Amino acid sequence: MTKLTTQSNKKLITRDFMLRIKIVSLLKSETPRDNIIVKGWVRTRRDSSNFSFIEITDGSCLKNLQIIADESLENYEDIKKLTTGSAIAVLGNLIESQGKGQQWEMNAKAIEVISLAPDSYPLQKKRHTDEFLRTIAHLRPRTNKYGAVFRIRSELSFAIHRFFRERGFCHIHSPIITGSDCEGAGELFKVTTIDFENPPKKDGKIDYSRDFFGTEASLTVSGQLSAEMFALALGDVYTFGPTFRAENSNTRRHVSEFWMVEPEMAFCDLFEDIDLAEEMVKYLAVYILEECSDDLKLFTRFVDKNLKSTLENIARSEFKRILYEEAVEILRKSGKNFKFDISFGKDLQTEHERYLTEDFFKKPVVIYNYPKDIKPFYMRLNDDNKTVAAMDVLVPRIGELIGGSQREERLSMLEARMNETGLLKEKYWWYLDSRKFGSVPHSGFGLGFERLIMLMTGTSNIRDVIPFPRTPNTIDF
């Protein structure tokens, strides 16, 4: 009985939905279709002597649908006033197009004007700069390019879940509010309900024991520490969530709020970790090449002429793996005049990363075994006592896309590193527990989701691949 009800409900919804068809599926039709409804926004209108062409989009794909509105339509006078950005519903027949440039068009039997956009609508026909569009971030998804960016963002998110699911990973929702600083870099946004006009004080300092959580709390910089606890229970897990960094860097590849994908695997060493990272990036490149070809063509045409070949190269090539020490040697011998010097013990800057992946190897590069002093406390110390089992994946145009490591699974070594880096063992007692009870070698990495989208779309500024970017000094939307 219950089943029947559900089924009939489903049917109703489907039928209701069928009345309105999305342009993406209409354009895939194999035969003409009668009496369908399409709803969307006007891109352009051209009038000839006794009919008008109206191009509409409904956001479901890059392509527009061309509507033919004949003067015999009852409200033709209103139709002739349709402006760019206006919303309409069209009832009509899908027919084979006589014109060039499209296979299908729609012959309107009735057009309802849902709302008319005034001439002040900022997205008129001409092309706009990315800088201008950033000032109207609430409207930019209506442009062809940004529509494509955000469709690809959604596709990539789906492909990431599919990638992990196919490999038996469990998706973990790690917390957003946390009491720990995973990366130890102090780039934390505080979460507090303290009244700053009149804060509770003890010995001249703010008394956080009287704050909401009874201690200092912040937005998470990474889900890793939680993911580790779950990997040591469920085996292979991943988190995919927002992360926050109060880092004052105004660059093309940093934002204060970004999304990170973080797999964590038990019984996994650094090299297996690198294998997974390489497999994942290639999988996603192939996915975009195969599933998003229309949107990809737009980026190849208007954003980066080499995009398709870059992605094909990523999908095909074996990522180059080199020691940090070797990377430093290559950079020192490059004869390049870098803005930042490089020598053993210093972190690589974007210019160094880009030289290695774009100019020297001309493909993705994995650098591993970094000096311990430039890396966080949780990375596994190598036998040389100087380096840790860390790895970064560098890709053309972006530099660092992924950062990961094998984790220190030996309790005494971990405690020693915590002492060295000034972390309070009492605070991380729960983390240390995982090394006391059934500790095993384990590894993981973090992939910056926005940097991935930059890579896959050729976009050069990270602000243009996230709906409403958060960066120092701006939070307009």
State the Cα–Cα distance between residues 35 and 360, nearest whole angstrom: 59
- Tell me how crowded residue 118 is: count the other CB atoms within 10 A of its CB: 8
State the Cα–Cα distance between residues 307 and 396, nearest whole angstrom: 11
Nearer to Mg ion, 12 or 185 (CB): 185
State the Cα–Cα distance between residues 461 and 298, nearest whole angstrom: 17
Chain positions contacting Mg ion, by CB under 5 A: 403
| Residue 288 within binding range of ligand 4AD, rule CB under 6 A | no
| Residue 262 within binding range of ligand 4AD, rule CB under 6 A | yes
Q: Could you tell me the smallest distance in angstroms from the CB atom of residue 392 to Mg ion?
A: 6
Q: Could you tell me the smallest distance in angstroms from the CB atom of residue 260 to ligand 4AD?
A: 5
Nearer to ligand 4AD, 182 or 322 (CB): 182
| Residue 444 within binding range of ligand 4AD, rule CB under 6 A | yes
Cα dihedral across residues 335, 341, 346, 352: positive or negative: negative
Binding piece for ligand 4AD, criterion CB under 6 A, among 192-200, 247-255, 345-353, 428-436: 247-255
- Partner interacting with residue 245 (select from Mg ion, ligand 4AD, none; CB below 5-8 Å by kind): ligand 4AD
State the Cα–Cα distance between residues 198 and 184, nearest whole angstrom: 29
Pairing of strands 205-206, 365-371: unpaired
Q: What angle do CA 97, 103, 104 make, to 5 degrees?
A: 60
Residue burial 263-293, b: 16+ Cβ < 10 Å; e: rest: bbbbebebeebbebbbebbbbbbbbbbeebe
Nearer to ligand 4AD, 222 or 300 (CB): 222
Q: Could you tell me the smallest distance in angstroms from the CB atom of residue 48 to ligand 4AD?
A: 50
Helices (H), 167-269: 224-234
Identify the DSSP state of 381.
B
Give the number of C-alpha atoms closer than 13 A to the C-alpha of residue 391, restricted to the C-beta side. 27
Structure tokens at 438: 């059934």
| Residue 255 within binding range of ligand 4AD, rule CB under 6 A | yes
x/- binding map, residues 165-194, to ligand 4AD, per CB under 6 A?
Answer: -----------------xx-----------
Nearest to 143 by CA among 85, 66, 81: 85
Phi, psi of 465 (to 5 degrees): -120, 5
Q: Could you tell me the smallest distance in angstroms from the CB atom of residue 276 to ligand 4AD?
A: 12
Nearer to ligand 4AD, 147 or 444 (CB): 444
Q: Specify the amino acid at residue 213.
A: F
Q: Could you tell me the smallest distance in angstroms from the CB atom of residue 402 to Mg ion?
A: 8
Q: Which residues contact 16 (CB under 8 A, 6 or more apart)?
A: none
Among 448, 453, 457, 469, binds ligand 4AD (CB under 6 A): 448
Q: Could you tell me the smallest distance in angstroms from the CB atom of residue 151 to ligand 4AD?
A: 21
State the Cα–Cα distance between residues 274 and 470, nearest whole angstrom: 30
Helices (H), 122-269: 130-135, 144-166, 224-234
Nearer to ligand 4AD, 147 or 403 (CB): 403
Nearest to 350 by CA among 394, 402, 387, 403: 394
Q: Which of residues 423-442 bind ligand 4AD (CB under 6 A)?
A: none
State the Cα–Cα distance between residues 140 and 128, nearest whole angstrom: 10
Q: Could you tell me the smallest distance in angstroms from the CB atom of residue 251 to ligand 4AD?
A: 9
Q: Which helix or strand (DSSP H or E) is residue 13 part of?
A: helix 2-19
Dmax (CA) of the chain:
85
Among 52, 224, 300, 387, binds ligand 4AD (CB under 6 A): 224
Binding piece for ligand 4AD, criterion CB under 6 A, among 6-14, 80-88, 251-259, 356-364: 251-259
Among 446, 454, 457, 464, binds ligand 4AD (CB under 6 A): 446
Q: Could you tell me the smallest distance in angstroms from the CB atom of residue 262 to ligand 4AD?
A: 4
| Residue 399 within binding range of ligand 4AD, rule CB under 6 A | no
- Partner interacting with residue 450 (select from Mg ion, ligand 4AD, none; CB below 5-8 Å by kind): ligand 4AD
Q: What angle do CA 20, 26, 28 make, to 5 degrees?
A: 150
- Partner interacting with residue 434 (select from Mg ion, ligand 4AD, none; CB below 5-8 Å by kind): none
| Residue 391 within binding range of ligand 4AD, rule CB under 6 A | no
Nearer to ligand 4AD, 39 or 346 (CB): 346
Q: Could you tell me the smallest distance in angstroms from the CB atom of residue 347 to Mg ion?
A: 9
| Residue 403 within binding range of ligand 4AD, rule CB under 6 A | yes
Nearer to Mg ion, 247 or 291 (CB): 247
Contact set with ligand 4AD (CB under 6 A): 182-183, 222, 224, 245, 247, 254-255, 258, 260, 262, 400-405, 444-446, 448, 450-451, 462
